[in-house]
């Protein structure tokens, strides 16, 4: 049987054209600059399929990268990427032009929306296949008993994972994915799965094997815009190279299986602000919570004031209850409901070996200082992922990078959950990496129109870079951001520059530059060690 053909060419120095011809002779032309995340779309029925357009355009840009990226390894990667996206685009074109008038209204496991799905002629696929009228993704009826939802359809004669996103636990529930949940203490109901997990694996291996994260809607139609943000932020690329690199990360597997979830922190959510509190945000939150079984939010006290969210870092993570926060919080917010975010227990335990009480057993401050001196000798080179201070902990993987990414994911979870509540504003308080999580939560909330405001934020010994765009950080803050820092904090003074390639921490030197709404408060006279903040500092 004749197959579709997808071709790409460079019109001039930085302009691309992608031409698609279906088996029945239908044509579609996409064009644009190499820096365009979305192309100009020509006329034709195939242009209604967003999935087809995106994969065809990704193919064209990867084809360009295969010639223009700076080194051979990147060019080979781009060539492989182009081949995979071309194959997918051709497969989708084969299906998209041969739909019938038979419709099925159902939830789509690709875009998580409820749409009509057009049935494809059986002669084309040999399987019961539909195409979502919303996003263009191929689907097949879920194999769950009496389930009316659509599962993601993958290339091949056998449907690898014949269950919908609910029955494979890629989402907690279609109906509630973009709904409000009232008060924050209702979050457990929101994260509770509506359906039994009938899938043997939560990883869709069909498209994933082709380099596409089929387990989430990201790679289907949000990928181009997000890919550019990921490529720029993580890979340091620009233009077409940024998009292609970012999409390569997206294609590395689902969030739960180690794709962008391992590499990107909050980039998925922050790249598309409207996703916060919506179906895309729900899929990200579900994947992140699945990775971190220790995540939960504990209500510490009720009240009538502005709700306060507190988040600890290593050395002050504690167990249940206040964990050292009682006097700090109640001294300033006595009439507020207070919630504590628990997260990353395994990662924080590993980091606890780097300083404080754990240092006495494994790595003392003298060893950290010695490692810092050794690191200074290689200042001209970027430090590798395993630096001397971390090797000394006998942890197989770099615990700092793992914990840092976990903190950022926690911030994304908190931001999405807060965006689903009815509260008008919150107070965010965090220590160490807990401060990093709350900073990410504040910045992420700022991307969502209509999200709750931040009445005030208090960061103690923040394990985050001192140089930060404070206007972004304070964009949704009504009062001010208070950053409590100490030059005596030995963890941030010695260990942080090692694991962050010489960067200074905001928890040691303050944010640079500060603004009227981001106030640096020097508490060096009170805070001698990283674990002292909760014992000595009073919130403004």
383-419 per-position pLDDT tens digit: 222 233 333 333 335 677 778 878 888 888 899 899 9
Judged by average pLDDT, the poorest of 51-60, 139-148, 461-470, 476-485 is 51-60
- Between 9 and 314, name the one with better pLDDT: 9
Please give the average per-residue pLDDT across 314-337, as a whole number.
Answer: 87
Omega before residue 258 within 30° of 0, cis: no
Per the model's pLDDT, the better-predicted residue between 455 and 65 turns out to be 455
Pairing of strands 27-33, 453-460: unpaired
Position of tokens 């082709």?
210
Q: What is the mean pLDDT of the chain?
A: 77
Task: Decide the pairing of beta strands 40-41 and 99-107.
Answer: unpaired
Give the model's pLDDT for residue 154: 78
Q: pLDDT band for position 340 (50/70/90)? A: very high
Q: Highest mean pLDDT: which of 36-50, 298-312, 361-375?
A: 298-312
CA distances 421 to 172, 375, 407, 437, Å, are 17, 46, 21, 19
Phi, psi of 11 (to 5 degrees): -75, -45
What is the per-residue pLDDT for 54?
A: 81
Residue reference for tokens 């990226």? 69
pLDDT confidence of residue 317: 60
Q: How far apart are CA 540 and CA 536, in angstroms?
A: 13
Gap between the Cα atoms of 449 and 273, Å rounded: 8
**pLDDT at residue 270 greater than cutoff 70:** no
Per-residue pLDDT at 360:
28
Q: Report how far residue 507's alpha carbon sits from residue 510's, in angstroms, rounded to the nearest whole number.
A: 6
Cβ-proximal residues to 12 (8 Å cutoff; 6+ apart), any chain: none
For the segment 72-88, the average pLDDT, to the nearest whole number, is: 86
Position 25 scores a pLDDT of 87
pLDDT at 438 over 70: yes
> Pick the residue with more confidence: 510 or 236?
510
132-141, 363-372, 493-502 — most confident range? 132-141
Contacts 24+ apart (CB under 8 A), 181-190: 181/417, 181/420, 181/421, 182/421, 182/422, 183/421, 183/422, 183/423, 184/297, 184/307, 184/309, 184/339, 184/417, 184/418, 184/421, 184/423, 185/297, 185/299, 185/339, 187/297, 187/417, 188/296, 190/417, 190/420
Residue 206's pLDDT is what? 30
Q: Which residues pair with 386 in a beta bridge?
A: none
What mean pLDDT is predicted for residues 200-218? 35
Q: For residue 101, what pLDDT band results from cuts at 50, 70 and 90?
A: very high
Contact 321, 300 (CB under 8 A): yes
- In this prediction, residue 532 carries a pLDDT of 93
Tokens, residue 307: 């709700």
Q: Three-state SS for 98?
A: coil
Tell whether the model's pLDDT for residue 306 goes beyond 90.
Answer: yes
Q: What is the mean pLDDT of residues 471-495?
A: 92
At residue 519, the pLDDT reads: 96
Question: Residue 7 pairs with which residues in a beta bridge?
Answer: 19
Residue with tokens 């895309």: 280
pLDDT over threshold 50, residue 236 = no
* Three-class secondary structure of residue 343 per DSSP: coil
Q: What is the mean pLDDT of residues 159-182?
A: 86
Distance CA 527, CA 277 (A): 38
Range scoring the smallest mean pLDDT among 141-150, 166-175, 370-379: 370-379
Specify the pTM. 0.77
pLDDT surpassing 70 at residue 240 = no
CB 178 within 8 A of CB 277: yes
Gyration radius of the chain's alpha carbons: 25
Q: Are 38 and 228 in contact (CB under 8 A)?
A: no
**In Å, what is the CA distance from 23 to each residue of 56, 216, 373, 418, 446?**
16, 29, 66, 49, 47
Find the largest Cα–Cα distance for the chain.
Answer: 78
**pLDDT the model gives residue 44:** 75
Separation CA 140–CA 119 (nearest Å):
9
Give me the pLDDT at residue 225, please. 39
Contact criterion met (CB below 8 Å) for 240 and 290:
no
Q: Which pLDDT belongs to residue 55? A: 85
- Calpha distance 54→492 (Å, rounded): 44
- As a residue count, the chain comes to 540
Residue 97 has pLDDT above 80, yes or no: yes
What are the Cα distances from residue 50, in Å, to 11, 70, 138?
Answer: 23, 31, 11
- Specify the DSSP element, H or E, that contains 367: helix 365-376
Q: What average pLDDT does this structure show over 62-88?
A: 87
pLDDT of residue 253: 31
- DSSP-based three-state secondary structure for 275: helix
List the end-to-end C-alpha distance of the chain, in Å, as a whole number: 72
pLDDT of residue 73: 85
How many helices (H) and strands (E) the chain has is answered by 22, 16
d(CA 126, CA 188): 42
Positive or negative, the CA dihedral 51, 52, 55, 57 is negative
Helix (H, G, I), strand (E, B) or coil at 327: helix
**From CA 421, how far away is CA 425, in angstroms rounded?**
10
Residues 354 and 393: beta-carbon distance below 8 Å: yes
Residues 474-492 have a mean pLDDT of 94
**pLDDT in the model for residue 267:** 44
Q: Which two tokens stand for residue 217?
A: 């809607």
Task: Judge contact between 264 and 202, C-beta under 8 A.
Answer: no
Please report, rounded to a whole number, the percentage of residues in the chain having pLDDT higher than 90.
38
Is 90 exceeded by the pLDDT of residue 35?
no
CB 174 within 8 A of CB 112: yes
What is residue 15's predicted lDDT score, i.e. its pLDDT? 93
Owner of token pair 């064009």:
31
The neighbouring-strand residues paired with 467 are 512
- The pLDDT of residue 266 is above 60: no
Per-range mean pLDDT, top range of 185-189, 225-229, 235-239, 402-406: 185-189
Q: What percent of the chain has pLDDT over 70?
A: 74
What is the mean pLDDT of the segment spanning 262-281?
A: 53
In this structure, what token pair is assigned to residue 191?
């994260």
211 or 56: which leads in pLDDT: 56
* pLDDT score recorded for residue 157: 63
């Amino acid at each position: 049987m004749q197959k579709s053909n997808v071709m790409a060419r460079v019109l001039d120095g930085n302009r691309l054209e992608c031409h698609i011809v279906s088996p029945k002779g239908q044509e579609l032309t996409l064009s644009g600059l190499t820096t365009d995340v979305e192309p100009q779309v020509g006329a034709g029925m195939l242009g209604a399929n967003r999935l087809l357009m995106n994969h065809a355009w990704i193919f064209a840009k990867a084809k360009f990268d295969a010639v223009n990226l700076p080194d051979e390894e990147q060019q080979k990667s781009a060539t492989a990427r182009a081949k995979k996206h071309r194959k997918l685009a051709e497969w989708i074109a084969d299906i998209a032009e041969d739909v019938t008038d038979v419709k099925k209204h159902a939830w789509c496991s690709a875009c998580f929306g409820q749409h009509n799905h057009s049935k494809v002629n059986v002669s084309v696929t040999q399987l019961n296949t539909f195409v979502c009228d919303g996003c263009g993704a191929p689907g097949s009826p879920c194999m769950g008993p009496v389930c009316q939802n659509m599962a993601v359809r993958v290339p091949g004669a056998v449907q690898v994972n014949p269950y919908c996103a609910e029955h494979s636990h890629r989402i907690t529930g279609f109906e509630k994915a973009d709904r409000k949940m009232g008060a924050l203490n209702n979050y457990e109901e929101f994260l509770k799965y509506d359906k039994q997990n009938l899938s043997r694996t939560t990883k869709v291996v069909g498209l994933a094997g082709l380099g596409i994260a089929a387990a989430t809607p990201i790679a289907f139609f949000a990928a181009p815009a997000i890919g550019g943000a990921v490529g720029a932020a993580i890979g340091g690329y620009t233009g077409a190279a940024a998009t292609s690199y970012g999409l390569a990360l997206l294609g590395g597997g689902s969030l739960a299986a180690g794709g962008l979830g391992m590499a990107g922190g909050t980039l998925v959510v922050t790249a598309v602000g409207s996703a916060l509190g919506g179906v895309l945000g729900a899929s990200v939150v579900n994947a992140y919570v699945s990775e971190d079984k220790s995540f939960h939010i504990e209500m510490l006290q009720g009240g009538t004031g502005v709700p306060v969210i507190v988040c600890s870092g290593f050395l002050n993570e504690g167990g249940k209850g206040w964990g050292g926060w009682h006097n700090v919080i109640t001294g300033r917010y006595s009439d507020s409901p207070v919630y504590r975010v628990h997260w990353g227990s395994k990662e924080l335990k590993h980091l606890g070996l780097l300083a404080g009480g754990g240092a006495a057993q494994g790595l003392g401050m003298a060893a950290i200082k010695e490692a810092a001196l050794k690191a200074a000798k290689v200042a001209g080179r970027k430090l590798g992922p395993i630096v001397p201070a971390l090797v000394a902990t006998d942890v197989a993987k770099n615990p700092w990078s793992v914990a840092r990414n976990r903190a950022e994911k926690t911030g994304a979870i908190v931001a999405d959950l807060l965006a689903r509540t009815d509260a008008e504003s919150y107070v965010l308080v965090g220590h160490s990496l807990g401060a990093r999580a709350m900073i990410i939560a504040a910045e992420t909330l700022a991307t969502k129109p209509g999200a709750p405001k931040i009445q005030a934020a208090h960061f103690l010994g923040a394990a985050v870079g001192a140089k930060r765009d404070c206007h972004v950080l304070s964009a949704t803050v009504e009062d001010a951001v208070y950053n409590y820092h100490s030059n005596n904090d030995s963890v941030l003074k010695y260990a942080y520059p090692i694991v962050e390639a010489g960067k200074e921490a905001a928890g040691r030197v303050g944010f640079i530059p500060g603004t009227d709404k981001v106030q640096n408060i020097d508490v060096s006279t009170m805070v001698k060690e990283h674990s002292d903040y909760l014992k000595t500092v009073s919130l403004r």
